[in-house]
Structure 1
């Protein structure tokens, strides 16, 4: 396979020599930190409750505040990168994320912790879209495909490692600091990345003349907020009427946003998401498939963790370790799928997804009785991860393969937002299915039955993903 140091191109207007391998390690580590903070806090919740005397609503806000700010502002972050320079905005986002992580780790109370979590999510939204834009501008050909495989592996790894690392750090209670290291761990890593970024990041100037489309920006952020807030909080609060009202208002604002964007384009302006990006061959069907893959994968990881901890009585650390096979397999196959025979590559996403749907149903049947997770279930988990990764990584490449470098930032914002929304929707919808089928804590067999119902729904989502994948084709 082509090495990352070959078949790359110097980005237009770059200054100095780009070291592709080191650059990729830098930006993907930043991406990994942002993903880690979606899940690492979950296992620290009981300790935070005790230490800060936090209410249930406050704890929900600590967890959800990060995700809400992150999801809502991703496209804004992408546009800022295009205007002011991807490397510069990545550094600003990384610096803000590191500072916010320090503030979270030192927070004296729940109110300040919630505020700092919102800032941390906003900083992640500033940093993360630049990763894909830098990959698009720095790599080409086989090197880009491998870089996208590493990107996919990081997505999978962040989900699994967050649970495990959070359990390790909280259990260690370093110097009596309890939950605080789950945030403070980002600080030394962030400082190292900031120092490395000064030498490694290419000097890509932004397009200062590019329009900013403030009306579109405000409308889209509001629409995403109205969608994400009830999805994140709805199942915890029993789906109150205001949540449904927000969802309806969000759908209306998306329609208004589409009308406003078309009018801006008709006047010769520069809309937030240019129509040519959405019309790029393969982007929309690939994005639809990616959305359903992430919804199914994230929803399963959430429900599987609940089944283990509230049904089987596993510790958070053990639950994270038992979830490892599917995440590790997903990451490995995302990275190495190109080693499969070339004749399989065109059909690989459809083949992989066609295997995953029935595979989840088989897993649900294996665990429905509430028994311990044995070798057979672990084997099925590994196969599910391998098959899903063989579909996800090629689809990511197909989504971006025909996007011009000039539109890399906008396409990056769209695809990363699709990934994040898939995670949010998956946890909300699939989590609601699981929680609606059982009252937790529950007996193992009751929790196992709920997991069977949940796996059937996830299987249907992957069948839909296979349908979208049929409408994509690899780049020539």
Structure 2
């Protein structure tokens, strides 16, 4: 079998590719920011737009749903037709949808535009990881993923603070609109820069590289069946919703069978199942899923506790988690520099730091009065944030390190779909623990402790997977990393 090596239409200089990375990170920042910035704007939507509780729920959960559903198909589309084109189309759609959300005249229109916005964000995300794989190799790739990890940590944690600042500045009447309008200047600037800076790599010329509509349908239906009861856990009362979970498992099983059939027939599948034969990819994806189940929920229950029990404003609650965001950015940049030297050991250290930080927050809740929580929790927030930073970016680098570049978009979509499902599952489980304790008239401080202990449980599962992978590597190390020539395969 003869392999041909396609080259970019024009060389990408070192300076140009780092600027192109900046464009990708700007787009990633606003798309991930919108997963959390809207939460503090919900009361403003209720007052200014008359949004019901059901509409508010769909503003939050609808974005997560369509974001997760779009990731793998969009990543595959970028692999086939060019990541630059897919990135720019997704970014343009996200910017337009954000503007439409801000201009929405009714709750129903807001929900529809929010669903479109989420799908557009899901279109952008896998192109970012694919472009990093395409533009960088070796230690530069690790540094690039380190910067991406900083963006993930900061955007997720800083959302409540940014939303609180906007609501505080504009007012509760129309403040929610500016939560969406803030994306407009960033989106336009990133799009203009992307037109000039993103590399024009050629699309695949392999005739077998066709889109797989049945695979998209099976995967999308399976992910939807898994995520819908999780993101609607508080709104859909009754146990009937959990019947969707086995339905989702069956649909994903059918997807697996279909994709294997596509491979046997020599057709390009939506997801190359041989990726899961790589220990680094499989365990990395599981670590990411379970880690995000614990990591994302911290901001959820702490924000609820501070605003509903401790009497903090949205802005004050956002400031309280800011140390975590800043420390996470520092840890991610550090992790990107050290991962090539220390490998999975760095992930083990990072997960241990997150668990230690969360246990420290629990100790603060037990020992410190509510009104002093923000100051007292600063040190464990910093410990947990640094641990988070040196978990996310090194794990992403190690998970994707042996993925062929021509499959980078779909592989990145699989990894990020796991993150979305993990986040939804974590919030559903931790939220149930938290609200169940309050429903039985338990103290809010105990509810927060139980919720955070549940988050620690998810983190410890991720830590166990990382330790297991570390032990296996010591017995039978992975094959050498891809050389530059293989990494540039298109």
**8 A Cα contact 2:47 2:172, kept in partner:** no
List per-residue Cα deviations over 1:275-308 (Å, max 9, x = no partner).
2222234011111111121111101110111111
List per-residue Cα deviations over 1:235-256 (Å, max 9, x = no partner).
2333x33411222211111111
Give 1:64-463 correspondences, 5 Å limit: 64-173=61-170, 177-207=174-204, 209=207, 210-238=209-237, 240-337=238-335, 345-368=343-366, 371=370, 372-373=372-373, 375-439=375-439, 446-463=443-460
Q: 1:243/1:346 Cα in 2 relative to 1: closer, same or farther (>3 Å)?
A: closer
How far the C-alpha of 1:345 sits from its partner, in A, is 5.0
**CA distance, structure 2, for counterparts of residue 14 and residue 31 of structure 1:** 26
How far the C-alpha of 1:15 sits from its partner, in A, is 3.0
Give yes or no for the alignment of 1:56 onto 2:53: yes
Structure 2, unaligned runs of 5 or more: 482-490
How far the C-alpha of 1:361 sits from its partner, in A, is 2.6
**CA distance, structure 2, for counterparts of residue 213 and residue 308 of structure 1:** 47
Where 2:215 maps in the other structure, the secondary structure is helix
Where 2:203 maps in the other structure, the secondary structure is coil
List per-residue Cα deviations over 1:152-199 (Å, max 9, x = no partner).
111111112211111111121179743211111111211111111111
Give 1:4-15 correspondences, 5 Å limit: 12-15=7-10
**CA distance, structure 2, for counterparts of residue 352 and residue 161 of structure 1:** 20
**CA distance, structure 1, for counterparts of residue 130 and residue 165 of structure 2:** 34
**CA distance, structure 2, for counterparts of residue 267 and residue 345 of structure 1:** 37
Aligned to 1:4: none
How far the C-alpha of 1:231 sits from its partner, in A, is 0.6
Q: 1:123/1:342 Cα in 2 relative to 1: closer, same or farther (>3 Å)?
A: closer
**8 A Cα contact 1:395 1:469, kept in partner:** no
**8 A Cα contact 1:78 1:129, kept in partner:** yes
List per-residue Cα deviations over 1:101-152 (Å, max 9, x = no partner).
1111111001111110011111111111100000000011111111000111
**CA distance, structure 2, for counterparts of residue 346 and residue 114 of structure 1:** 41
List per-residue Cα deviations over 1:391-417 (Å, max 9, x = no partner).
322211110111121221221111121
Q: 1:314/1:337 Cα in 2 relative to 1: closer, same or farther (>3 Å)?
A: same
**CA distance, structure 1, for counterparts of residue 220 and residue 143 of structure 2:** 32
Where 1:54 maps in the other structure, the secondary structure is coil
Which shows bigger deviation, 28-37 or 229-238?
229-238
**CA distance, structure 2, for counterparts of residue 419 and residue 11 of structure 1:** 32
How far the C-alpha of 1:12 sits from its partner, in A, is 3.1
Aligned to 1:7: none
TM-score normalised to the size of structure 1? 0.92
List per-residue Cα deviations over 1:379-435 (Å, max 9, x = no partner).
011111112322322211110111121221221111121222222222222222222
Which shows bigger deviation, 182-191 or 145-154?
182-191
**CA distance, structure 1, for counterparts of residue 402 and residue 383 of structure 2:** 31
**8 A Cα contact 1:293 1:388, kept in partner:** no
**CA distance, structure 2, for counterparts of residue 407 and residue 340 of structure 1:** 26
Q: 1:42/1:22 Cα in 2 relative to 1: closer, same or farther (>3 Å)?
A: same
Structure 1, unaligned runs of 5 or more: 1-9
**CA distance, structure 1, for counterparts of residue 311 and residue 232 of structure 2:** 25
Give 1:459-470 correspondences, 5 Å limit: 459-470=456-467
**CA distance, structure 2, for counterparts of residue 75 and residue 178 of structure 1:** 34
**CA distance, structure 2, for counterparts of residue 108 and residue 340 of structure 1:** 50
Q: 1:464/1:86 Cα in 2 relative to 1: closer, same or farther (>3 Å)?
A: same
How far the C-alpha of 1:219 sits from its partner, in A, is 0.3
Q: 1:407/1:449 Cα in 2 relative to 1: closer, same or farther (>3 Å)?
A: same
Q: 1:203/1:429 Cα in 2 relative to 1: closer, same or farther (>3 Å)?
A: same
Which shows bigger deviation, 349-358 or 455-464?
349-358
Aligned to 2:486: none
C-alpha RMSD of the superposition? 2.3
Q: 1:338/1:211 Cα in 2 relative to 1: closer, same or farther (>3 Å)?
A: closer
**CA distance, structure 2, for counterparts of residue 425 and residue 230 of structure 1:** 9
How far the C-alpha of 1:358 sits from its partner, in A, is 4.3
How far the C-alpha of 1:262 sits from its partner, in A, is 1.5
Where 1:373 maps in the other structure, the secondary structure is helix
**CA distance, structure 2, for counterparts of residue 281 and residue 345 of structure 1:** 14
**CA distance, structure 2, for counterparts of residue 463 and residue 446 of structure 1:** 26
List per-residue Cα deviations over 1:305-353 (Å, max 9, x = no partner).
1111111010111111101111221221111135669875552222332
**CA distance, structure 1, for counterparts of residue 339 and residue 286 of structure 2:** 26
Q: 1:374/1:128 Cα in 2 relative to 1: closer, same or farther (>3 Å)?
A: closer
Where 1:325 maps in the other structure, the secondary structure is helix
**8 A Cα contact 1:294 1:426, kept in partner:** yes
